[in-house]
Amino acid sequence: MTTESPRWFKSSYSENGGNCVEVATNLVLTRGTVPVRDSKTPGGPTLTLPADAYAAFVKGVRDGEY
């Protein structure tokens, strides 16, 4: 069992104070997941995605699918 805490970060493109998300990719190796949350509500709910689903989403964004 691991007790590692998420290390949250947001994109450097998110410095406009707008609608941003934060991710914690440090849990990929130990848990195989990527937690995602609203940067404006850090104590709010967290969506936890399987690492492969998160990677596919990021690839889709980079490829212009969304």
Q: Which residues of the chain have pLDDT under 50?
A: none
Which pTM does this prediction carry? 0.81
Tell me the one-letter amino acid at 48: T
**pLDDT given at position 58:** 93
**pLDDT given at position 20:** 87
**pLDDT given at position 8:** 95
**pLDDT given at position 12:** 78
**What whole-number distance in Å separates Cα of residue 65 and Cα of residue 58?**
10
**pLDDT given at position 4:** 86
List alpha helices for the chain, DSSP H. 28-31, 51-62
